[in-house]
Amino acid sequence: MRQVERLRRAGKRTVPTVIAALMTAATPVHAQADRPELRMIVVDTEAAAQAVQAGVTAGLSFDRLARRHSVDPSGPAGGYMGAVATGDLRGEFRAALDGLAPGEVSAPTPLGRSFLFVQLLNEPDSAWMVHNHAGFTAFGEGRYADAIVSLSAAVDAAEQLEPDRLAQSLGNLADVHRLEGNHEEAEPLYERAAALYEASLGPDDLDLALTLNNQALLYHTQEAYTTAQPLYERALDIWERTLGPEHPNVAAGMNNLGAVRQAQGARDEAEALFMRSLEIRERGLGPDHPDVAQSLNSLGDLHRAAGDYPEAEALFRRALGILEPALGADHPITITSRNALGETLVQDALERFGELVSLSAFRDEEYETARAEFARALTRAPVAEDTYLEMADIFAQEDMLGEAELMLAEAAERFESREAWYHLGEQHVNTGAPVAALEAFRQAFATPGPPDLDPIVDTQMRSFISRRIGDLHGDAGRYDEALAAYGRAYDIDPEIVESRLGRGVVHYRSGRPEDALEEYAWVLDKDPDNVSALNRLAETLMSMGRVDEAAEAAMRALEIDPELLTPRLLRGRALVTLGRAEEGARLLEEYQALNAEQQAEDQRTREIIALDRDAMAQLLDGRHEDGMRMYREAIELHPDVPQFYFKLGVAQNKLGRHEDAVATFLELIDLGLGDDFIVHKNLAEAYRALGDADAGARHAALYLERRDAEMALD
């Protein structure tokens, strides 16, 4: 509606303001013959009376004149008195009404030291009152569809009234459509309202300024910033010239214009507008007014968008210090401000996370400082559980295994998270810490899932975790414990065959092949194409001397997945044993060739690790030229390994060779080997160091975009 809507979000980053217009909201009462519906205007000076009379002569609506001039409490409601018994009126009122026809306005009548104007409502005016009131009531109760119906009827009634009244009704209806997201319906209503105001009241009218402001809000919401900007500017110009440069409307208009200029990338101009808005509000409203908090929030948002998180935090905290005492901790505006502070703290933590990952190639003093700063930022920020898990995953990908484990451990404790405990267990498995892994899996099994977790998924998760406990016990030779864990997994979810498969492996390892065969048979009865079961079956049958059956099981596995190595080896050996030497030898040769390829790939991996380790050792020892030379040689040997390009580029950046760093990182991207957020962060730093602000800003934006996408952030 066209009442105050402070801090309503209408843009992605900043919060524009709707200026208040005082609308009729009194409950209409239908007139009777001896109880006509009346409006009145009371003014306390002759000059004011002359201004009202001039407005009446000019055809302005009584409603508007009452809101602008009347000193009576009915003024904000358009002077509406309701249905009044004429016999109960003072003589001055009866004199003013004498001979007055519906719709007419009386001449100014002395009322003590004041002057009185009275209007007898006509049928269209009364109908307008009824529909307008119903629209406001419905909107206040959240019945927006009903509000639109009633306010549309008010527009129809206003077609027979003064142009400014019609413009007012059009604006009311447009506001509801805008707030409901009905942008196509709102736009022509605003345009018609503005045209009516300008034609009937002139280009400097305050209601025109309000309409232009709210129309700009519509375009701002749609991110049509170039369309919104001139409307904001025109509304602000009207307010400044008409109300003076220190009026609260001027401050609100500056805040709105600053928001759209920020969205257009004009940061300095936006900051100047926000600062001017803040100054006006502090002087005119006092330092503890909620409107001051709005300007502080706008400035905070500006600094947050620029990555200046400490300044943004200070501004948001100051705004909260105003809003919580003034509006309460649970007020929607306070909550919005608190969320902005929380988002700032999260962004600060994420920025320090990115810095830490970027420095991870060199575990030097700078890296240790970054790690400590990240840890401090993380403790202050309301980071979500999913974000913790994503950061841990990125740490693991970047070979920052200790950091990944710490992140998962903190998430597990902070959120009592089953998922975090599980991933911590897997991380311990990957780093060769089975005892720690077993404890983490036990914690995961004992931790309830989130309240909204699907019961079927919950069952599957608990069964899977119990199987992982069984895997660890089995690998450690604790066969009784392994069987118990697999049995518990099966009891939880009998439909998952892997529990029985695990039991079969334990039986085989503990020297009970017949029991193993029984388990594999059960699995294959449920899932005939289970390759793992067929492979294990072939292995067990071979160990028992049942060569024909082993060859058959291995063949079935190869039919399902011809790339498997172990079934090829087992079938080849079985066929040789069965006297089918030529066929068996062919399979064994295939196995040897495939195994040699795998060994060559393993050797290549070991060589890459060694080259990386040796080159980094040179850099960390201060032999920078040797280290960079070794990375360039490594790239010649293995041009498809992204870590060589990345670490060379990082070294070049750290040593001030920013042009070389740019070339290295761009080559990495052009080859399609790496386009993640850390690459763009380093490119942004290199370009900024070279004085190329545009390229730096472009890659800084790509860094944030890639980072948030990888971490599934909105």
The identity of residue 629, as a single letter, is R
Tens digit of pLDDT for each residue in 113-126? 899 999 988 888 88
Q: How far is CA 532 from CA 502, 569, 587, 592, in A?
A: 10, 15, 19, 21
- Structurally, how many domains does the chain consist of? 2
User: Which domain covers residue 100, as residue numbers?
Assistant: 37-120
Q: Which of 85, 120, 155 lies at the terminal end of a domain, its last residue?
A: 120
The distance from CA 626 to its chain's CA centroid, rounded to whole angstroms, is 45
DSSP states along 398-461? TT-HHHHHHHHHHHHHHHT-HHHHHHHHHHHHHTT-HHHHHHHHHHHHHSPPPTT--HHHHHHH
Helices 455-475 and 434-446: crossing angle, nearest 10°? 160
Which residues are CB-contacts of 574 (< 8 A; sequence separation ≥ 6)?
538, 542, 547, 548, 550, 551, 554, 584
Does 61 map to a domain? Answer: yes
Does 46 map to a domain? Answer: yes
Q: Which of 59, 85, 120 lies at the terminal end of a domain, its last residue?
A: 120
SS3 163: helix
pLDDT at residue 713 in the model = 62
How far apart (Å, rounded) are the C-alpha atoms in residues 326 and 487? 61
pLDDT at residue 326 in the model = 94
pLDDT at residue 11 in the model = 33
pLDDT at residue 521 in the model = 95
Partner residues linked to 120 by β-bridges: 38
Tens digit of pLDDT for each residue in 211-268? 999 999 999 999 999 999 999 999 999 999 999 999 999 999 999 999 999 999 999 9
With contact defined as beta carbons under 8 Å apart, do 16 and 256 qualify?
Answer: yes
Q: Which two tokens stand for residue 677?
A: 């957020």
Identify which of 408, 480, 471 has the alpha carbon closest to the alpha carbon of residue 444: 408
Q: How far is CA 114 from CA 41, 47, 647, in A?
A: 10, 11, 84
Mean pLDDT by 10 residues, the chain (714 residues): 32 42 44 72 93 90 88 86 79 85 90 90 85 86 91 92 90 93 94 94 92 96 95 96 95 96 94 97 95 96 92 96 95 94 94 89 86 93 92 89 93 93 94 94 94 92 95 95 96 92 96 96 94 95 94 94 92 93 92 92 93 90 92 94 92 92 94 88 93 92 86 64
CATH code (residue 691): 1.25.40.10
According to DSSP, the β-strands at 109-111 and 80-83 are unpaired
Q: Which two tokens stand for residue 353?
A: 């996370």
How far apart (Å, rounded) are the C-alpha atoms in residues 506 and 143? 65
Q: Which of 93, 120, 147 lies at the terminal end of a domain, its last residue?
A: 120
Q: Which two tokens stand for residue 692?
A: 């190329």
pLDDT at residue 259 in the model = 95
Identify which of 207, 206, 214 has the alpha carbon closest to the alpha carbon of residue 165: 207
Q: Which two tokens stand for residue 550?
A: 């082993």
Ramachandran region, residue 429 (left: φ > 0; alpha: ψ -120 to 50; beta: rest): alpha
How far apart (Å, rounded) are the C-alpha atoms in residues 398 and 404? 10
Q: How far is CA 367 from CA 20, 210, 397, 528, 681, in A?
A: 53, 54, 17, 53, 16
Does 291 map to a domain? Answer: no
DSSP states along 303-339? HHHTT-HHHHHHHHHHHHHHHHHHH-TTSHHHHHHHH
How many Å from the N-terminal Cα to the C-terminal Cα in the chain? 30
Does 690 map to a domain? Answer: yes
Handedness of CA 556, 562, 564, 566 (dihedral sign): positive
Vertex 697, ends 691 and 700: CA angle to 5°? 120
pLDDT at residue 313 in the model = 96
Does 666 map to a domain? Answer: yes
